Amino acid sequence: MPIPLNKPVQAAAKDVLQRLVGHITPESTETSIATAAAAMLAERGYPDTWYYNCPAFVLLGSRSKASLSGRVYVPSTEPVGSRNLVTIDLSPRSGDIWGDCARSFYIEEGVARIVPSTPEFVSGYETESRLHQKMRAFVRPDTSFHDLYEFANAQIREEGFENLDFLGNVGHSICQHRDDRQYIEAGNHRRLGEVACFTFEPHISQHGGRWGFKHENIYYFDNSGAVMEL
């Protein structure tokens, strides 16, 4: 399978997420971060989004554990402050070609970081990394969405975390129309290899923990059947 056409759009989303690290300050809010992210995407040539009217879905602080749809999302004005977790999920599109990428940023002593240093943040960061590694070792083109759902949720539990998605989903296919997405959910026995590419985006928290962690990439299978990050 050739590299999906989504690569340039996804590269723009990743670039904007990297740039946002230096933009986040203690005075930032979901509203200001979402506005800045949308402007950066537009500068890169991607002013449009496939995710309702929500090119940048930002959750922080008291809402980092919230499982919300972009259909009802309204960014808040809660300030970041000196210690916080901020998750930014970008969904640019070019025509019917999508990008979809999310990262959690860790605010320590007023400074935003991609890689945290404090234990309560390190635990979530490293767990997300392991979940992606384990997923890549598990999936093959004939793996079903249901099988990956069961595997991912078992791994989340083994890590001592809980899945914050209200349906337990951990991702979806990348397609041309929003309502055509195939979800990594219970009972979906279509094979991953039937779609061009898919996201893996576990939204997790330690049991009783304060923070909701998220890390999202798009993946596809190459001609040998190996899973690759877009």
Tokens of 18: 């990297």
Mean pLDDT, residues 183-190 taken together = 97
CA distance 210 to 15: 28
Give start and end residues of each alpha helix (H) in the chain.
7-20, 30-43, 119-138, 145-158
CA distances from 212 to 2, 63, 113, 159, 173 (A): 35, 8, 16, 14, 23
> Which of 103, 102, 100, 95 shows the shortest CA–CA distance to 47?
95
Task: For residue range 12-42, list pLDDT tens digits in order.
Answer: 999 999 999 999 999 999 999 999 999 999 9
pTM for the complete prediction? 0.95
Question: Any idea which fold 7-229 has?
Answer: Creatine Amidinohydrolase (3.90.230)
